[in-house]
Amino acid sequence: MEFKHLWSYFVKIFIFSVAILSSKAQAETLLFYEDYWPFSYIENAQTKGLYYDLATSIFDSMEKDYSVEVYPFKRSLMLSMSGKGLVVGIFKTDERSIELEFSEPFYQEESVLFVNKDNKFPFNAMSDLKGRQIGVKLGWSYGAEFDQAKESKLFTTVVGSTEQIYRLLELGRLDAVVDNKLSGISTINDLKVNQSIDVLPKPLVIGGIHIAAKKGLKSELLKQFNRHVSRIRDNGEYQKILNRYYLPTKVPSNGQ
């Protein structure tokens, strides 16, 4: 009798353990990157940002279990290409589409050109960048047209950390830096170079921001994600999240 009770106990423990492991196995891994305020960053050991808030709200709406991992952007991208999670917050490009399958855009991001005030130039088309040196972040894409122009050697890109490329711009060693408008404005304020640097008025690109996974691995999940983007738009949750990130106090006093 005691043996039967003991056996029953172990069976229950085994079933419980399998259920826990199965739940963990089914949880989706969301790959964020760590230094892109206000979209994806770490503060006080917590993952934060607009991409984080939107993506996790959508997965909550989907009633999907998920875990969050945060890495430098390039590593998050490589992990997703290896089938180890869904990278959150990237542009769709021809090169990336070889390895990755994308959701529909869940956000529209505006990338602009930051320039030294003593070396401003008119920008209306990609051809206006001919012969110039442009600062970019490691591993980032700024849309198909920019990538194609870079490959055709229309201009030269200088790759560096965020602080490095803005310091070079301040010193006049770059003609421009490409960055998201919100995060770039925050950066020039934080580095106290907003008196030396301006934003050109015409955006370089207004591009869709996606989540993506290794091609063929998460097709149904991505379709479900698309449906729930529409759902949180319709119920007002999407706009509530966006409203938290409109921070006029971050804009330099000169209005640029």
More confident of the two residues 8 and 80: 80
| pLDDT tens string 110-168 | 999 999 999 999 999 999 999 999 999 887 878 889 989 999 999 999 999 999 999 99
Q: Is residue 40 part of a domain?
A: yes
In a shared domain, residues 6 and 99 = yes
pLDDT of residue 155: 97
3-state SS class at 251: coil
Contact 204, 77 (CB under 8 A): no
Specify which residues 40 forms β-bridges with: 36
pLDDT of residue 116: 97
d(CA 48, CA 62): 20
The pTM of the full predicted model, rounded to 2 decimals, is 0.68
CATH number at residue 165: 3.40.190.10
DSSP H helical ranges for the chain = 2-26, 50-62, 73-81, 94-97, 144-151, 162-170, 181-190, 219-234, 237-243
**Residue range(s) defining the domain that contains residue 147:** 110-206
Residue 24's pLDDT band, with cuts at 50, 70 and 90, is very low
Q: Is residue 213 part of a domain?
A: yes
More confident of the two residues 177 and 251: 177
